[in-house]
């Protein structure tokens, strides 16, 4: 590790850096099998939104971790901050003496355990941010293996660009053609047990995700997404009736397509324009101010 004198000199010369932890949206999620070790095999079409959590990193005499944001108190209460700390510790172990103590501030803007990859996105942003702060990097394969240790969703959150993920999430293929989509995220602020959702699946060997190679423009992509599915949505709806209610509310407010993301309970509605999404989010918030509604835009596949 750095000596205290060197650390002090470095701290004086290094300002804080920030990383966005974007919400991960499963536009499609097909459960295609199950491995002998219990992990389910998935085909997923994934994109990421401009809206998400934010992490700030800066040198510190000792390791510190603080929380803020709408859902910061919830996260502190359930001990769910461990993925950020685990990412810090695993990366430090891999890097060695360059990994001086750091203060991490997590602004938690996404609902906790909501099917949009909040914890995984936070862990991925921690890896990206600390590599920048510590002025180092890992070989691509080593970084991918470290990310997978943190969770099946972390490798794709590390990319934070439109992609197809297969296997347990580790086989990633970029999808640069996926257009930007205006979207409203909706969540009843009611948790869903992912293991229970998988347990209730009627069939675990479903058809794979197949996308035509010639998709062009938003209309083509909307048709392709509509033809796909989220195999976890039916059992999640059985457990949380609010999911069906949210989908109906999004449709009533002009959504072109609605679906649940991940294992829920967050649903998304895709809208024709960002203005239409913002109007819908405002109307939905007026209707149910105790729920979570957020207008956002997805990132470009070509960015």
* Catalytic residue set: 24, 153
CA distance 87 to 65: 13
Q: Are 59 and 14 in contact (CB under 8 A)?
A: yes
Q: Helices (H), strands (E): how many in the chain?
A: 11, 10
Q: Are 125 and 107 in contact (CB under 8 A)?
A: no
How long, in residues, is the chain?
A: 303
Residue whose C-alpha is closest to residue 23's, from 41, 56, 47? 47
Both tokens of residue 104? 């991490």
Q: Is 79 left (phi over 0), alpha (psi -120 to 50) or beta?
A: left
Q: Report, in this order, helix, strand and coil percent for the chain, each rounded to 5.
A: 35, 25, 35
Both tokens of residue 302? 């070509």
Name 13's Cβ contacts closer than 8 Å, sequence gap at least 6: none
For residue 137, give the 3-state DSSP assignment.
Answer: coil
Residue 25: CB atoms within 10 Å? 25
CA distance 247 to 225: 16
Q: Are 48 and 25 in contact (CB under 8 A)?
A: yes
CA distance 258 to 271: 9
CA distance 118 to 132: 21
């Amino acid at each position: 590790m750095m000596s205290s004198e060197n650390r002090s000199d470095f701290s004086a010369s290094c300002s804080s850096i920030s990383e966005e932890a974007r919400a991960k949206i499963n536009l499609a999620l097909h459960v295609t099998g199950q491995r002998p070790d219990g992990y389910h095999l998935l085909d997923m079409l994934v994109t990421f939104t401009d809206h998400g959590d934010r992490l700030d990193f800066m040198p510190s005499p000792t390791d510190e971790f603080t929380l803020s944001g709408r859902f910061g108190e919830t996260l502190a209460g359930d001990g769910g901050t461990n993925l950020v700390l685990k990412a810090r510790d695993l990366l430090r172990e891999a890097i060695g003496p360059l990994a001086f103590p750091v203060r991490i501030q997590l602004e938690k803007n996404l609902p906790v355990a909501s099917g949009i990859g909040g914890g995984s996105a936070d862990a991925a942003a921690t890896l990206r941010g600390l590599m920048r702060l510590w002025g180092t990097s890992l070989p691509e394969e080593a970084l991918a293996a470290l990310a997978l240790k943190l969770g099946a969703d972390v490798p794709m959150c590390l990319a934070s660009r439109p992609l197809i993920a297969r296997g347990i999430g580790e086989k990633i293929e970029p999808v640069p053609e996926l257009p930007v989509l205006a979207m409203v995220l909706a969540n009843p602020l009611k948790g869903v047990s992912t293991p229970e959702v998988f347990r209730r699946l009627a069939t675990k060997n479903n058809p794979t995700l197949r996308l035509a190679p010639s998709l062009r423009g938003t209309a083509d992509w909307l048709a392709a997404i509509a033809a796909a599915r989220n195999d976890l949505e039916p059992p999640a709806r059985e457990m949380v009736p609010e999911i069906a209610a949210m989908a109906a509310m999004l449709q009533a407010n002009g959504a072109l397509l609605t679906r649940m993301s991940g294992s829920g309970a967050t649903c998304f509605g895709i809208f024709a324009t960002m203005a239409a999404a913002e109007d819908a989010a405002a109307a939905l918030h007026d209707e149910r101010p105790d729920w979570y509604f957020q207008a956002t835009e997805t990132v470009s596949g070509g960015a």
